[in-house]
Structure 1
Amino acid sequence: MIQRLRQILPRDQIAQRLLRNLKWIFSSQVAMAILGMISLAVSARALGAAGLGALALIEAFARINARLVHFEPWQAVIQYGSVALEEQDTARFENLVGLSIVIDVIGGLAAAAMILLVAPLVAGSIGLDGDAAYLLSLGALAVALSLRATGVALLRLYDRFDQLAKIDTATAALRLGLSIIAWLVGGTLLHFVIIFVLFSLAEGLIAFIFGRREMRQRGQRPRFGNLFTTLRQNRGFLRFMWNSNLAVILRQTTQRLDVVILGALVAPVFVGHYHIARKCGDAAIRLGRPIKQAVFPEFSRLAASGDFLRIRKTALWISVAFCAVLLVGVIPGLIYIVPILDAAFGEAFIAAAPVVSIQAVAVALFLAGVILGPVLLSLGCDRELMLIGAATAALFFALIYPFVITFGVNGAALSHLISNALWLGACSWLVIRTLEDKTRHMAKAKSEVPS
């Protein structure tokens, strides 16, 4: 796909930078997907379906609380930081980074406090009793100290996608290595929860350490002055951060809270089956993230220059190429799903074939529109993107309970499929309409300029 894009896109600085960054991110996401699936297979064989279901609940509970409480500022920092760097306003940029660090620290501590407060109250109702109930609170350590959002923003602003790719691959390899050791020594659920905590802490801190190093090499440092002054220098920062995060929160809430809801409705063994489906889907989504991550800074620059025709052309060809890749990958996977599950996870997980198949189609619908979110954000449609996310999340939560009661664990995957179809249709329509409006307004403005 990268070779095809190299032939299609114009041979200029933007296209070459985009393709170089895409290559780095895609390579790392492929490696992380492979390492993640091997880690999942090791965990499944070590814990069994019920133990894997309990681990899934603990991870999902920690991540959903972090997502709800810790608003990540990286997209807003890229949006406003790129302008400050373009204008060579170093002081403004340093203040912006300081603000981002404050947001990360406060958000992480607030998320950990929320987990410690809520975990004892909900553990029994989602199927975690006895020792497993205490492990739900242990997940607070995984989110207490996370500066990843600031680190990611810095590395992407400095065009160090290569550095970020190496960091993410290394942390995924660390988790796999620790999981294999735990399996070989007969590790319990406690050991795998500790591995999750260590992995989350490494993921949250290493990117920041390297991002901070890039700042220091350029003679820059974070400034923690008057935060209100920083916000005045970057008007709209909080609104952009709120809308961009809320769109992701609404999306990821359905992808995390579904496991918690299932824990209250079905036995842990079926949660384990669903966790396999979700993790397989997450591995596929990882392959779509490179495009999303690489194009957002470029689309932001194109939108700022008013080159909406270039945005439309680039978005169209990337979407067509990626949809072709999806067809080649998904169809054989659906045909051979049973032997794949048997070989990867063992005979006990063959029963998960129906839910894995439905989830695969749902993920394919989401990936077909993976580029639409960055396009809408670059066009200033953060509010509209948030509203679409709210509508699809509302549909998902309206469907999941009756669907699970009617179809069992397959109902959760069906809920994702239907809500993803709505999301894809709504975002596609909005992108087409917005690009047409902006292109027309730009042409009208140029025609009114005296020659």
Structure 2
Amino acid sequence: MTAVAPAAPRTPIRRVLANAGQLLSGRAVNAVVGLAYIALTARSLGKETMGVLVIINAFAQFLGDVAHFESWQTVIAYGTKPLADKDLPRFQQVLRLSLLLDLISSVVGVALGVLGAWLFWEALRWPPGMSGYGALYALSIGVMTPATGVGLLRLFDRFRYLAAEQAVSSFVRMIGCAICALAHAPIQYFLLAWAAGAFASFFYIAAVAVRDLRARGLLTGFRPWGPTSRGLPGVWRFALSTNFSGTLEVGFTHVLTMAVGAILGPVQAAYWRIGKQVADGMAKPARLMVPALYPELAKLRAAGGQRAMTRLAIQIALIGGAAAGVLLMVSLLAGRWILETVMGQAFGAAAGVMNWQVAAAAIGVMTLPLEPMLVSMRAAGAALIVRLVVVIAYFAALFPLIRTFGLAGAGAALVASALALGLGMYFMARLRLARLAADEGLAAAD
């Protein structure tokens, strides 16, 4: 018999693309289903009430992001080596720390959400009587991001299960919104349907992660109490830096929605949110390379492959650049038609601001490997500095621009901030790589 040669191991770029492809299969379904529940909500509630729901959701998600630790990054950055070395006590220590971070996030986020709904409903331009419903919706903050579970599944290369995460949430929301639409239900029932999606996604990820941990024997002897950060140098600084950076990145979106609603009213907030939904949906296929990129960079970093990390980042940037050009062209040529077809004629007016949002998303896609590079090199603080400077400058200009130019002003500022962020990350990554190369040269000389 002729021996069959073993298959050649896949290169990092092949693994990134393969894992991103698995995520894409689920996110493609999610993009359609997500637009479906947004459309059901918009057509049932109308522009004004839809805007109120959008602002309440943005408020809850913003506070969730403020309190939320990016503990999945801690799992990958500090759990990759113990997993490879089969160091069970150290791996369980990383897991224990990540779960602690998630617990702190949930408690603080829910407390801020409930209290904020009662205190600031008028400033957020919620109608009278909505503060109680907003406070109830804030309970979903505790389950909005199953960060530890997500980190574990990324570390285990279980991307096919991650692919279904958002689809599960969107399917539950779509079914709930469909029932609400058929029953001509008021806004509070639509809020219940949206919150149910967050709970469904959380329990799905938690169940899959626990099953994988048990199958690998990683829960043997695990206790929820015990050492957390001991022997993990810089872990709290890393966790705080990635948390703050993630808060600025994701919370930035929800603050914008609330700012537009507070200055221009719920209708304009609805336009902004719907345009952002479509823009993010168009950019999603390329952005799916980012969660697949983090584990590969962490593995290359652990093996000391600085040049391989750079090569992988350049390959991803080239692919992202091609994707960015395509999605911007689609928005410019067919954006209004997409909005009117999916959301209804009344929402075609969001096309102008959506083009700005798509342009900003395109810049983000072109520069998407830069921040993962910095985080993988344990330079999360450098990424945080860049993001913080850009966010401060953006908000300093945002309110005058909105008052002067309306939604177009907010959109133009969004493009400028995406460009500044990309340039800042690029120069920080170059500096960090030069420093690592110098350190390697000194080590070789010794």
Q: Is the TM-score greater than 0.5? A: yes
Q: 1:339 to 1:20 in 2, by over 3 A?
A: closer
Q: Per the alignment, do residues 21 and 277 of structure 1 end up closer, same or farther by CA in structure 2, a change over 3 Å counting? A: same
Q: Which residue of 2 aligns with 1:323?
A: 321
Cα distance between partner residues in 1 of 2:287 and 2:333: 25
Distance (Å, rounded) in 2 between the aligned partners of 1:256 and 1:21: 28
Look up the equivalent residue of 1:216 and give its one-letter code. Answer: R
Specify the code of the residue in structure 2 equivalent to 1:417: V
Structure 1 stretch displaced more, 58-67 or 164-173: 164-173
Cα deviation, residue 175, structure 1: 1.8
Checking the alignment, whether the CA contact within 8 Å between 1:73 and 1:100 is kept in structure 2 is yes
Question: 1:100/1:146 Cα in 2 relative to 1: closer, same or farther (>3 Å)?
Answer: farther
Q: 2:381 aligns with which of 360, 363, 383?
A: 383
**Structure 1 position 314 matched with structure 2 position 312:** yes
Where in structure 2 are the equivalents of 1:342-421 lying within 5 Å?
342-421=340-419
Distance in 2 (CA, whole Å) between partners of 1:194 and 1:297 is: 35
**2:425 maps to 1:427:** yes
Name the SS for the 1:144 alignment partner. helix
What is the rounded CA distance, in whole Å, between the counterparts of 1:316 and 1:24 in structure 2? 22
Aligned CA distance change for structure 1 residues 134 and 225 (closer, same or farther; 3 Å): closer
**Superposition deviation, residue 319 in structure 1:** 0.8
Gap runs ≥5 in structure 2: 1-7
What is the match of residue 61 of structure 1? Answer: 59
Task: Give distance in 2, aligned partners of 1:373 and 1:132.
Answer: 39
Corresponding residue number in structure 1 for 2:3: none
In the alignment, the residues of structure 1 paired with residue 298 and residue 57 of structure 2 have an alpha-carbon distance, to the nearest angstrom, of 33
Aligned counterpart, 1:284: 282
Quote the residue 1:3 is aligned against.
none
Does the Cα contact within 8 Å between 2:390 and 2:421 map onto a contact in 1? yes
| 207, 210, 213: which one aligns with 1:212 | 210
Number of residue pairs matched by the alignment: 437
Q: Secondary structure at the match of 2:288?
A: helix
Of residues 31, 35, 39, the one that matches 1:33 is 31
Retained in 1: the 8 A contact 2:93–2:228?
A: yes
Read off the aligned partner of 1:153 and give its amino acid letter.
Answer: G
Tell me: CA distance 1:99–1:441, structure 2 relative to 1, closer, same or farther (3 Å): closer
Distance 1:265 1:51 in 2: 17
Contact 1:54–1:132 (Cα < 8 Å) also in 2: no
Tell me, in whole angstroms, the C-alpha distance in 2 between the residues paired with 1:71 and 1:441: 31
**Deviation string for 1:152-175 (max 9, x for gaps)?**
111122221112213432332222
TM-score normalised per structure 1: 0.92
RMSD: 1.9
Query: Cα deviation per residue 1:175-205 (whole Å; 9 max; x = unaligned)?
Result: 2222222222212211110011111112222
Q: Do the aligned partners of 1:154 and 1:211 also contact (CA within 8 Å) in 2?
A: yes
SS of 2:224's partner is coil
Mapped contact 1:99–1:224 kept (Cα < 8 A): no
Aligned-pair CA distance for 1:426: 0.9
Asked whether 1:223 is paired with 2:223, we answer yes
Q: C-alpha displacement at 1:334, in angstroms? A: 0.9
2:271 and 2:230 map into 1 onto residues whose CA distance is 50
Following the alignment from structure 1 to structure 2, what is the Cα–Cα distance between the partners of residues 249 and 409? 23
- Rounded Cα–Cα distance in structure 1 between residues aligned with 2:194 and 2:170: 11
Q: Distance in 2 between matches of 1:383 and 1:138?
A: 35
1:426–1:245 distance in 2 versus 1, CA, 3 Å: same
Matched letter for residue 224 of structure 1: P
Identity of aligned residues (%): 27
Contact 2:74 2:235 (C-alpha < 8 Å) held by counterparts: yes
Q: Distance in 2 between matches of 1:354 and 1:17?
A: 38
Aligned mates of 2:368, 2:19 — CA distance in 1: 17
Match of 2:298 among 281, 300, 303: 300
CA contact (8 A) 2:387 2:421 kept: yes
Displacement of 1:130: 1.6
Distance across 2 between alignment mates of 1:440 and 1:106 = 39
- The CA deviation string for residues 2-40 of structure 1, in whole angstroms up to 9 with x for no partner, is xxxxxxxx9645444333312211222222222212222
Contact 1:243 1:386 in 2 (8 A): yes
Gaps of 5+ in 1: 1-9
Cα deviation digits, residues 258-280 of structure 1 (max 9, x gap): 11122221121111111111212
Contact kept? 1:299, 1:311, Cα under 8 Å: yes
Name the TM-score, length of structure 2 as normaliser. 0.93
Is the CA contact (8 Å cut-off) linking 1:254 and 1:397 kept in structure 2?
no
Cα distance in 2 for partners of 1:256, 1:38 equals 21
1:402-451 CA distance string (max 9 Å, x none): 001101122222221111111011112222333344335435544x26xx
Native 8 Å contact 2:75 2:95 kept in 1:
yes
Number of the residue aligned with 1:104: 102
Alignment partner, residue 5 of structure 2 = none
The amino acid across from 1:247 in the alignment is S
SS, match of residue 342 in structure 1 = helix
CA, structure 1 residues 37+400, in 2 after alignment: closer, same or farther (shift >3 Å)? Answer: same
- Give the secondary structure class of the aligned counterpart of 2:373: helix
One-letter code of the match for 2:69?
F
Tell me, what secondary structure is at the counterpart of 2:315?
helix
Report the alpha carbon displacement of residue 146 of structure 1 after superposing the two structures with TM: 5.5
